[in-house]
C-alpha cells in the first residue's frame, strides 16, 4: 500500500508535467499577471490608525466605543507649539501668533481652537461678568505681570505654555477619526497658515500629524526594503552560482512573486500598516529559499548527465513536495498571528501567509518553466569544477559523530542560559520607539514630551449611580479626589473635567485669585456657580458631561514612560477608586485610546503562546503525514523550539520590550526555521527508504542538502539585516533578532539534529 507521500507525488507529478509541457503559456501568463500587478501598485493603500493596535473583543474596547458615542474620540486634536527665541513675550511674535490662532478656527475639520492669546479670565463684577485677557498680546507693558500670574496660577503651564515661556500652543479640536486624505489636507493648511504668519519654528502633534508621518514612513520602507533586498539577492545568487542566466531566472521568478503578491493586496483593497516593510523582505528571501532548493537539485541532476526534462522531473519529485511542505509550514507560522487580538498583527499574519503561498506557486511553476527553456550549457559553468562543499559538509557530519556528548552538553547549557534570559523579558514599551528615526514627528514628539505633558490621552469615565447626577456636589467631591490624585502624579498633566469650569467661576467671584481655583464646599454656592458655568460655557461643558448628566469624563495626558510603568499608574488609580471613593454614588472607570494601547501588551504574550501552540500542532500533523514517524516529528521540533527560546533570551538579555511589532519575531522564526529541519529530515528519510543505513543516509543528507541549507540561511540572515536600513526602530530590532536567531537555528539543525537522530533512531 502506498504511503501518503507517494499519493501526493502521484498527483503532483502529472500536474507539473502538464505545466512543463505548456512552458511558453506558463511564462506568458506570468508576464501578463506581472504587468497587471505592476499597474495595480499605484492603488496600494497605506494606513495608520491607533485602533489597529487595540485588543479586539476586549470589554474595555466595547466600553470605550460606547462611551465615545457621547463624547467623541479622545485623540481628535492637533497641538501646534510655536517657539520664539528666548521668550514668547515679544510683541511682534505675539501679534503673529494671535492672528494665527484666530485664523486657525477656519481651518478644515476644526471644531474649536484655543490658545492663551484668545482665552480670558472671567471676572464677576456688580455689573455681571467681564473678561481679562490671559496674555495682553498687544500691550507689552503687561507682559511681566501676565507671566507672573501664569506661573502663580499654574493652570496653563505645560499645557498651553511651557514653563520657560519659550513656546505657546494652539490646541485644535478636530473632527473625529480623520482619514489619511483629510489629515494631509489639514496639515497642509496648518503649515500654509503658519508660513503666512511668519511662524517658522513650530511642532505638530496629534492624530493627523501621526497619520501623515507614519504613512510616509511606510511608503518609504516598502520602497527601500524592496530595492535593497533585490540587490542583495542578486549579489548572493551571482556569488553562489556565478552564471548570469541562473541569476536572471531566479531573480525574475522571485520579483514576479513579489509583484503578484502586492498586486493581489491592491486588488483585494488591503490596507498596508506599519509592518508593511516586512513584505518585500519576506517575499524575496522566502522565494529565494524555494528557488535555491530547486536550482541546486536541478543543477546537480544536470551534472550527472541527465537531459533537462528528466532533470526537472527528478528535481520536482525530490524537493517539490518538501518545498511545498516548507511553504505550508511557513504560512502556518505566519497564520499563528491570527490569534492576536491586535488587528494589525493578525492582518500581517494573514497577508504574509498568502504571500508565502503565492511565492511557492510562482517559483515552482515559473522557475521550472524557465529552466527547461534554457540549454544546459548556459546553466553550468564551462569549468564546472568540484567544489569543496561536499568535503566540508562531510567533515561537519563526522564532527557531530565524534563529539555527540559535547554537543548534547553544550545544548543543555544553551537551554539553561536562554531560560535565564527569557525570565527577564519585559513589556515596558515606549511609543516614541515606533516613530521614524530623525523624522519631524519624532522631534515633535520629543519636544512635547520634554516641554509639555506629552501626547498620550488618558480618560476616566464618570458614571453616576442611582438617582445621582455627575454634577451633584456629593459626586463633584468624589471627582475632585480623583483629580487631586492625578495632579499629584508627575507623569500625568493637563487634567480637566466639568469641575474646571466650576473652579473658574469660583475664582471669578473672588477677583481671580488663584487660591479660589477649587470647588466651593457650600451646597448653595456650588449650585449657583454651576448654573453660571452652564450659561457661560455650555458648549465647552458638553465635552465633559452628557445631556442627561449621568455620564462625565476626566481628561488628561500622560508622559510616554513605558507600558509597564503606565500599567502601574493605572493599578494605583484603580486601587484608589476602589478604596477611597464612594462607589454607592458614582463609578469611575479608566478608559481611552492610550489605556487600550497599553493593555494590548498584556495580550501579546498570551496570543503569542496560543498562536505558537496551534502552529506547532498543525506543523506536527503535516510532518506526521510526510514522515509517518512520531520520533521524526519529535526530533524535528527540538531545534525549532530551542530557536524560539533563543529569540526570547535575546529579548531578555538586551532588555528589548516585548510588544506587538516585536512579537512577530517568533512567528517568523518558527515558520522559516522549521523549513531547514524539514528539508534535512526529508532527505534523510528518502535515503533510508532507498536502503542506505543510518550513517550513509546522514552523510548523503549533509552532502546533498547541507549546501542549500547554508546558502538559504545566509540569504535569510542578510535579507533580514536589510531592516538595518529602516527608520522604524522596531523593524530594525525585528530584523536583527530574526537574522541571528536563524543562524542559531541552522547551527542546531547541522549540529544537534544529527546527534539526536543517532541517539533516538
Binned at pLDDT 50, 70 and 90, residue 194 comes out as: very high
State the Cα–Cα distance between residues 230 and 235, nearest whole angstrom.
Answer: 9
Q: Are 167 and 84 in contact (CB under 8 A)?
A: yes
Binned at pLDDT 50, 70 and 90, residue 344 comes out as: confident
State the Cα–Cα distance between residues 389 and 307, nearest whole angstrom.
Answer: 24
What's the whole-number mean pLDDT along residues 74-91? Answer: 89
Length of the chain: 761
With 0-12 CB in 10 A as exposed, 13-18 as middle and 19+ as buried, what is 17?
middle
Q: Are 276 and 221 in contact (CB under 8 A)?
A: yes
| Amino acid 334: pLDDT | 79
State the Cα–Cα distance between residues 448 and 451, nearest whole angstrom.
Answer: 5
**pLDDT surpasses 70 at 383:** no
Residue with cell 568540484: 386
| Helix intervals (H) in 629-693 | 630-653, 660-689
pTM greater than 0.85 (yes/no)? no
Cell of 493: 498633566
Q: Are 153 and 517 in contact (CB under 8 A)?
A: yes
| Amino acid 8: pLDDT | 46
| Amino acid 287: pLDDT | 83
Contacts for 542 with CB less than 8 Å, ≥ 6 apart:
none
| Amino acid 626: pLDDT | 66
Helix (H) or strand (E) holding 627: helix 593-627
Domain definitions of the chain by residue range: 4-52+212-423+598-760, 53-60+440-597, 75-122+132-211
Beta bridge partners of 558: 456, 492
Could you report the per-residue pLDDT of 431-458, keeping only the tens digit for each? 777 778 778 888 998 898 888 887 788 8
State the Cα–Cα distance between residues 629 and 125, nearest whole angstrom.
Answer: 92
**pLDDT surpasses 60 at 9:** no
| Amino acid 602: pLDDT | 63
Residue 287, CA distances (Å) to 207, 284, 293, 366 in order: 37, 5, 10, 12
Could you report the per-residue pLDDT of 121-147, keeping only the tens digit for each? 888 887 778 888 999 999 999 999 999
Binned at pLDDT 50, 70 and 90, residue 5 comes out as: very low
**pLDDT surpasses 80 at 259:** yes
Residue 40, CA distances (Å) to 47, 227, 266, 354, 614 in order: 17, 18, 6, 18, 35
Which of 254, 236, 246, 288 is closest to 377 using CA atoms?
Answer: 246
Percent of the chain at pLDDT above 90?
21
Cell of 444: 515633535
With 0-12 CB in 10 A as exposed, 13-18 as middle and 19+ as buried, what is 426?
middle
Could you report the per-residue pLDDT of 595-654, keeping only the tens digit for each? 777 776 666 666 666 656 766 676 677 667 666 777 777 787 888 888 888 888 888 898
Residue with cell 504587468: 35
Residue 661, CA distances (Å) to 87, 657, 729, 730, 745 in order: 41, 10, 10, 7, 21
**pLDDT surpasses 50 at 523:** yes
Binned at pLDDT 50, 70 and 90, residue 110 comes out as: very high
Averaged pLDDT of the chain: 83
With 0-12 CB in 10 A as exposed, 13-18 as middle and 19+ as buried, what is 758?
middle
State the Cα–Cα distance between residues 559 and 452, nearest whole angstrom.
Answer: 9
| Amino acid 57: pLDDT | 66
Could you report the per-residue pLDDT of 10-43, keeping only the tens digit for each? 544 555 555 556 777 888 888 999 899 888 888 8
Could you report the per-residue pLDDT of 544-570, keeping only the tens digit for each? 898 888 999 998 888 888 888 888 888
What's the whole-number mean pLDDT along residues 97-115? Answer: 93
CATH superfamily, region 4-52+212-423+598-760: Multidrug efflux transporter AcrB transmembrane domain (1.20.1640.10)
**pLDDT surpasses 50 at 1:** no
CB under 8 Å, gap of 24 or more: what pairs does 116-121 form? 116/150, 116/156, 116/160, 116/161, 116/168, 117/168, 119/160, 121/504, 121/507, 121/508, 121/512
State the Cα–Cα distance between residues 200 and 93, nearest whole angstrom.
Answer: 11
Residue 105, CA distances (Å) to 139, 174, 209, 563, 640 in order: 24, 10, 18, 35, 59
Residue with cell 496600494: 44
Architecture of domain 75-122+132-211: 2-Layer Sandwich (3.30)
| Amino acid 2: pLDDT | 43
- Apex CA 351: angle with CA 317 and CA 728, to 5°? 120
CB crowding 545-566: b at 16 or more within 10 Å, else e: bbeebbbbbbbbbbbbbbbeeb
| Amino acid 348: pLDDT | 82
Residue with cell 498633566: 493
Residue 427: CB atoms within 10 A of its CB come to 18
State the Cα–Cα distance between residues 279 and 285, nearest whole angstrom.
Answer: 10
Residue 716, CA distances (Å) to 39, 361, 719 in order: 29, 20, 5
- DSSP for 443-477 reads HHHHHHHHHSS-SEEEEEEEEE-TT--TTSHHHHH
Binned at pLDDT 50, 70 and 90, residue 87 comes out as: very high
Residue 299: CB atoms within 10 A of its CB come to 20
Amino acid at each position: 500500500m502506498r504511503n501518503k507521500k507517494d499519493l501526493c507525488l502521484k498527483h503532483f507529478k502529472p500536474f507539473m508535467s502538464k505545466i512543463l509541457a505548456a512552458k511558453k503559456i506558463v511564462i506568458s501568463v506570468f508576464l501578463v499577471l506581472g504587468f497587471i500587478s505592476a499597474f495595480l501598485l499605484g492603488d496600494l493603500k497605506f494606513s495608520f490608525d491607533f485602533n489597529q493596535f487595540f485588543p479586539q473583543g476586549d470589554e474595555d474596547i466595547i466600553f470605550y466605543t460606547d462611551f465615545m458615542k457621547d463624547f467623541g474620540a479622545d485623540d481628535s486634536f492637533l497641538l501646534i507649539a510655536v517657539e520664539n527665541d528666548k521668550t514668547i513675550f515679544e510683541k511682534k511674535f505675539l501679534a503673529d501668533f494671535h492672528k494665527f490662532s484666530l485664523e486657525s478656527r477656519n481651518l478644515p475639520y476644526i471644531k474649536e481652537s484655543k490658545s492663551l492669546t484668545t482665552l480670558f479670565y472671567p471676572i464677576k463684577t456688580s455689573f455681571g461678568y467681564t473678561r481679562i485677557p490671559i496674555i495682553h498680546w498687544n500691550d507689552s507693558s503687561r507682559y511681566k505681570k501676565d507671566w507672573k500670574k501664569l506661573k502663580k496660577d499654574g493652570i496653563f503651564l505645560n499645557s498651553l505654555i511651557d514653563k520657560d515661556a519659550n513656546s505657546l500652543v494652539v490646541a485644535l479640536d478636530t473632527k473625529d477619526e480623520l482619514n489619511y486624505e483629510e489629515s494631509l489636507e489639514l496639515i497642509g493648511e496648518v503649515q500654509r497658515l503658519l508660513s503666512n504668519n511668519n511662524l517658522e519654528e513650530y511642532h505638530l502633534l496629534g492624530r493627523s500629524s501621526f497619520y501623515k508621518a507614519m504613512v510616509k514612513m511606510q511608503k518609504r520602507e516598502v520602497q527601500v526594503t524592496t530595492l535593497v533586498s533585490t540587490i542583495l539577492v542578486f549579489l548572493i545568487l551571482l556569488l553562489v552560482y556565478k552564471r548570469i542566466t541562473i541569476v536572471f531566472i531566479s531573480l525574475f521568478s522571485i520579483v514576479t512573486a513579489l509583484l503578484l503578491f502586492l498586486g493581489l493586496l491592491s486588488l483585494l483593497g488591503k490596507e498596508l500598516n506599519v509592518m508593511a516593510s516586512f513584505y518585500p523582505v519576506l517575499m524575496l528571501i522566502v522565494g529565494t529559499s524555494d528557488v535555491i532548493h530547486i536550482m541546486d537539485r536541478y543543477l546537480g541532476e544536470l551534472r550527472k548527465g541527465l537531459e533537462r526534462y528528466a532533470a526537472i522531473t527528478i528535481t520536482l519529485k525530490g524537493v517539490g513536495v518538501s518545498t511545498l511542505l516548507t511553504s505550508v509550514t511557513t504560512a502556518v507560522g505566519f497564520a499563528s498571528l491570527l490569534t492576536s487580538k491586535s488587528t494589525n498583527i493578525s492582518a500581517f499574519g494573514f497577508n504574509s501567509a498568502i504571500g508565502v503561498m503565492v511565492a511557492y506557486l510562482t517559483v515552482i511553476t515559473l522557475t521550472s518553466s524557465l529552466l527547461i527553456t534554457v540549454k544546459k550549457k548556459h546553466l553550468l559553468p564551462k569549468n564546472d569544477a568540484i567544489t569543496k562543499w561536499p568535503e566540508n559538509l562531510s567533515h561537519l557530519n563526522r564532527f557531530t559523530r565524534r563529539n555527540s556528548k559535547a554537543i548534547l552538553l553544550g545544548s543543555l547549557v544553551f537551554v539553561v542560559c536562554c531560560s535565564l534570559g527569557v525570565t527577564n523579558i519585559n513589556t515596558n514599551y515606549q511609543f516614541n520607539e515606533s516613530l521614524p528615526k530623525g523624522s519631524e514627528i519624532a522631534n515633535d514628539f520629543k519636544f512635547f514630551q520634554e516641554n509639555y505633558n506629552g501626547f498620550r490621552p488618558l480618560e476616566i469615565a464618570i458614571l453616576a449611580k442611582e438617582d445621582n447626577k455627575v454634577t451633584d456636589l456629593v459626586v463633584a467631591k468624589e471627582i475632585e479626589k480623583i483629580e487631586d490624585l492625578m495632579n499629584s502624579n508627575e507623569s500625568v498633566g493637563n487634567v480637566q473635567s466639568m469641575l474646571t469650569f466650576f473652579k473658574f467661576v469660583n475664582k471669578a467671584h473672588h477677583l481671580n485669585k488663584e487660591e479660589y481655583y477649587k470647588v466651593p464646599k457650600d451646597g448653595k454656592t456650588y449650585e449657583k456657580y454651576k448654573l453660571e458655568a452652564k450659561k457661560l460655557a455650555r458648549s465647552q461643558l458638553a465635552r465633559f458631561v452628557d445631556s442627561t448628566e449621568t455620564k462625565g469624563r476626566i481628561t488628561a495626558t500622560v508622559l510616554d514612560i513605558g507600558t509597564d510603568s503606565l500599567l502601574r499608574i493605572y493599578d494605583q488609580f484603580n486601587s484608589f477608586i476602589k478604596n477611597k471613593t464612594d462607589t454607592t454614588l458614582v463609578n469611575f472607570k479608566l478608559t481611552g485610546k492610550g489605556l487600550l494601547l497599553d493593555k494590548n501588551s498584556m495580550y501579546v504574550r498570551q496570543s503569542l503562546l496560543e498562536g505558537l501552540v496551534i502552529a506547532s500542532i498543525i506543523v506536527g500533523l503535516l510532518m506526521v503525514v510526510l514522515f509517518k514517524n512520531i520520533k521524526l516529528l519529535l526530533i524535528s521540533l527540538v531545534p525549532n523550539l530551542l530557536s524560539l527560546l533563543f529569540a526570547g533570551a535575546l529579548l531578555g538579555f538586551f532588555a528589548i520590550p516585548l510588544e506587538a511589532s516585536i512579537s512577530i519575531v517568533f512567528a517568523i522564526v518558527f515558520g522559516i526555521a522549521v523549513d531547514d529541519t524539514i528539508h534535512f529530515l526529508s532527505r534523510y528519510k528518502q535515503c533510508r527508504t532507498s536502503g542506505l543505513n543510518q550513517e550513509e543516509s546522514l552523510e548523503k543528507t549533509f552532502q546533498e542538502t547541507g549546501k542549500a541549507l547554508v546558502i538559504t540561511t545566509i540569504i535569510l540572515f542578510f535579507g533580514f539585516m536589510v531592516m538595518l536600513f529602516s527608520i522604524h526602530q522596531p523593524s530594525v530590532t525585528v530584523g536583527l533578532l530574526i537574522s541571528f536567531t536563524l543562524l542559531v537555528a541552522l547551527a542546531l539543525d547541522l549540529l544537534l539534529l544529527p546527534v539526536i537522530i543517532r541517539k533516538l533512531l
